[in-house]
Structure 1
Amino acid sequence: MDREEILGKIQEITADRLGVDEGDVTPDASFREDLEADSLDLVELIMELEEQFGIEIPDEEAEKITTVEEA
């Protein structure tokens, strides 16, 4: 997967998980301010990303993720 495909998948997962329009999930969109995600939403989103991409994101790194592109 190249960077564009990864970003597209993250946008798709984010839109589905947060119940927002995929067009609103831009690379610089803030999960909290722009997409109105709360703490539980973010935890669930990180868990979904870990599952979909077969990776593990340490808690201290997950706390630093604030935008779609950072995910």
Structure 2
Amino acid sequence: MDRDAILAKVIEVVEDTLSLGSDVQLSEATNLKELGADSFDLLELVTALEDEFSMTFADDAVGSIATVGEVVDAISGAQ
């Protein structure tokens, strides 16, 4: 899966998991905590992404991921 396809799917999962309205525009630079995500939301998001991409994030990677782009990088690196 190429980077653009991963980005599109990550954005879709973030929008669904965090119940974002259509007025919120996400990009690679979008900070997840600035979307109002608390630690529980982020855990739920990681779980949804792991299910969607059939992978597991390294424990140390989860704590360092702050933006949509960093999520894409972590998924790209795991494939």
Q: TM-score, normalised by structure 2?
A: 0.82
Work out the CA distance in 1 between the residues paired with 2:65 and 2:28: 12
Paired residue type of 1:28: A
Q: Mark the runs of 5 or more structure 1 residues left unpaired by the alignment.
A: none
Residue in 1 that maps onto 2:19 = 19
**Gapped regions of structure 2 (runs ≥ 5):** 72-79
Amino acid in structure 2 at the alignment position of 1:27: E
Partner residue, 1:43? 43
Please state whether the residue corresponding to 1:63 is helix, strand or coil.
Answer: helix
CA RMSD of aligned residues (A): 1.2
Report which of the two has the higher share of helix: 2
The residue type paired with residue 26 of structure 2 is V
Aligned to 2:76: none
Q: How many residues get paired?
A: 70
- SS of the equivalent of 1:27 reads coil
Amino acid at match of 2:33: R
- Counterpart of 1:29 in structure 2 is 30
TM normalised by structure 1 equals 0.91
**Percent of paired sites with the same residue:** 37
C-alpha separation in 2, matches of 1:61 and 1:37 = 17
